[in-house]
Amino acid sequence: MPPGADTRFDVPRADAQFDIIVIGAGAAGLSFTAVAAQLGLRVALVERARMGGDCLNFGCVPSKALLAAAHAAIAAREAGKFGVRLPPPRIDWDGVRAHVRSAIATLAPMDSEARFASFGAEVLRGEARFVAAETIAVNGRRLRARRFVIAAGSRPAIPPITGLDQVPYLTHLDIFDLAQAPGHLLIVGGGPVGLEMAQAHAGLGVRVTLVQAQTIAPKEEPELVDALRDSLRALGVTLVENTRVAAAEVLSEQPDGGQLDGGQPGVALVLADGRRLVGTHLLIAAGRLANIEALDLDKAGIRAGPRGVATDRGLRSLTNRRVFAAGDIADPAGIGPRYFTHVGSYHAAILVRRLAFRLPARLRYASLPRVTFTAPELAQVGLTEAEARAAGHAVTVLAWKLANNDRAVTEAETTGAIKLIVARNRVIGASILAPHAGEMINQWTLAIDQRTKLSILAGLIVPYPTRAEIGKRAASAGFAMTLFSRQMKTLVRWLFRLS
C-alpha cells in the first residue's frame, strides 16, 4: 500500500474523502465544524453564499443593530420624563445603515473561512448536491464522507397572496439594504421578525402598518401581548389583527410622496374585509421554509418536506443513516423545526456528542427559551398557561407586575410583568415582558431544566434594586396565602410565647 494511503473508504481515488461533510455555514454548521475539526476529524464545510449564514448577514445581527438605533432615538424623544430637555432627534439614515454594516463587519471574522481553515476544516464555496447516498458534488468535485450534517438553513416563506408576484416586496434578506428610509412601511406578519421591524422603523420615524391574520405574537401569553401591543401603538405603529390579506397591488402613483429604491411604485394591500392599505414599501415576514430544493436529497434517499429534513430526536435522517440535520432545516419527528440561532448551536452540541464521542443524545425542548427583541422585550421558556392546561397539568399561575418593581419605577419603565406557570411545586413555564427580558429569562430556563423547587426560587437572594426581583416576588407569592393564613398566625403566636 502506498505511503499515506487512506484506508477508511473504499472509493475511487478521484473522489475527495472526509470523515464528515457539513453543508451550510450558518450557526449550526459553524458550531459543529469548529468542534469537530479541532477534535481531529477531517471535516469539509460547504457554503454557497455568505459565511455566517442568515443570522450574521440578514437576521439577528442587523436586526438588533437597527433596533439599537431605534431605541436610541426613542430614548432621546422620551428624555423629557426625566427632566432632560433634548431637541427632537434627526435620523441620519446613512449613519444608521453604517452602524448596521459595522456590526456585521465586526462579527464577521468569527465566521470567516480563514478562522475555520485554522481549525483544520476544508472550506468549500459552492452549491452542494447529493449524487448518491454518501457522495455530494460541489463545483464539479465529488466528495465522499462517512457522515453528513445538513445545516443549509431556511428562507422567508412567501404567502399565497393574489398579485404578490407582481408587487415589489421586501423580506429580511433585503430590508437592511434600503438606501432611504421608507415613507410608509407595510408589514405582513406579526411574529418576532414583523414586530421587531415594526418597532425599529417606527422608532426611526417611519410610518408603519402591520397586518396579522391572527393576533400578534400568537404563541405568547395574551396578557403580556396586550401590554406589548399598547407599547407599539404608543410608538405610532398601526396594528391590523385577525385580518387576512386577500391581494396585493402596484400603485400607479407614489403614496405619501415616497418611493421604493430605483423609482419603483408603491404598494397596496387589499384585506379580506375590503379595506385597502397603501404604503411605499412592503415587508413580508410570514414564516420560513427549509432550503432543501438545491440539495437533490432524493438522490441520497433523504426524506424531506417544506419544514426540512425528517429526522429522529437525535437529528439523524429517518431514511439515510449517514445523514444528520441541524438548525432551521431539521424537522425532528413529533417536534418540528425551531427557527432560532441558539437552537442551531444546541443541535451542534448534540451532534458533537453523537458523532465525535458516540454518546447518546436527544433533543429536549422543555427548557428552550425564545425572545422577541422589542422594547420591552418578550421572553418565554417552557409551557404557556394554555399549553400547560392543554397538556393536563393542574397549574398555579403566579405573576408580578413591573409597575410594582422599584428599579422599574426609578427608570420610568413600568410596562411589563412576569408570569410563572407552576405544577407540583415546580415552574414549568415562565414569560417575561420587560426591558432586557432576554437576559432575565436565563434563570427560569435553568430552573425548568433542573426542575428546581419553587421554594428554592423564592428563597434566592436577588440584588436590590433590579428588575429580576419580579421573579422572586412572583415565586414568593405562591407561599403568601399559606404564610399569612389564620392557622399560621396562631402557630406563630404560640411559638413566640415559648421563647
CATH 3.40.50.980 for domain 164-286: no
With 70 as the cut, is the pLDDT of residue 273 above it? yes
The fourth-level CATH superfamily of domain 369-483 is: FAD/NAD-linked reductase, C-terminal dimerisation domain (3.30.390.30)
Average pLDDT over residues 309-317: 97
Q: What is the pLDDT of residues 183-215, one digit of tens each?
A: 999 999 999 999 999 999 999 999 999 999 999
Residues of the chain with pLDDT > 90, as a percent, come to: 88
Given this chain, do its domains 16-51+112-156+289-356 and 369-483 carry the same CATH topology?
no
Least Cα distance to 341 among 148, 192, 123 occurs for 192
The CATH class, in words, for 16-51+112-156+289-356 is alpha beta
Res 263: pLDDT: 56
**What are the tens digits of pLDDT across the range 21-71?**
999 999 999 999 999 999 999 999 999 999 999 999 999 999 999 999 999
| Local structure of residue 274 (DSSP, 8 states) | S
Q: Identify the pLDDT of residue 264.
A: 58
The 10 Å Cβ neighbour count of residue 233 is: 12
Strand partners, 178: none
Question: Shortest CA distance to 470 belongs to which of 222, 224, 217, 234?
Answer: 224
Residue 10: pLDDT band (50, 70, 90) is very low
Q: In the chain, where are the structural domains located? A: 16-51+112-156+289-356, 164-286, 369-483
pLDDT tier, 17 (very low <50, low <70, confident <90, very high otherwise): very high
Cis omega before residue 360 (within 30°)? no
Helical (H) or strand (E) element with 188: strand 184-188
Mean pLDDT, residues 159-166 taken together: 96
Report helix, strand or coil for 69: helix
3-state secondary structure of 396: strand
Do the strands 141-150 and 135-138 form a parallel or antiparallel pair, or are they unpaired? Answer: antiparallel
Is residue 126 scored above 50 in pLDDT?
yes
Directed axis angle between helix 192-203 and helix 222-234, to 10°?
30
What is the spatial distance between Cα 209 and Cα 239, in angstroms, rounded to a whole number?
6
Percentage with pLDDT > 70 across the chain: 94
* 122-125 and 128-132 strand pairing: unpaired
pLDDT of residue 3: 41
pLDDT of 492 > 60? The answer is yes
CB atoms within 10 A of CB 104: 17
pLDDT in tens, 83-98: 999 999 999 999 999 9
User: Above 80 in pLDDT, residue 499?
Assistant: no
Backbone angles phi, psi at 416, to 5 degrees: 140, 175
**Confidence (pLDDT) at 486:** 83
316-321: average pLDDT? 98
Instruction: Determine the pLDDT at residue 380.
Output: 98
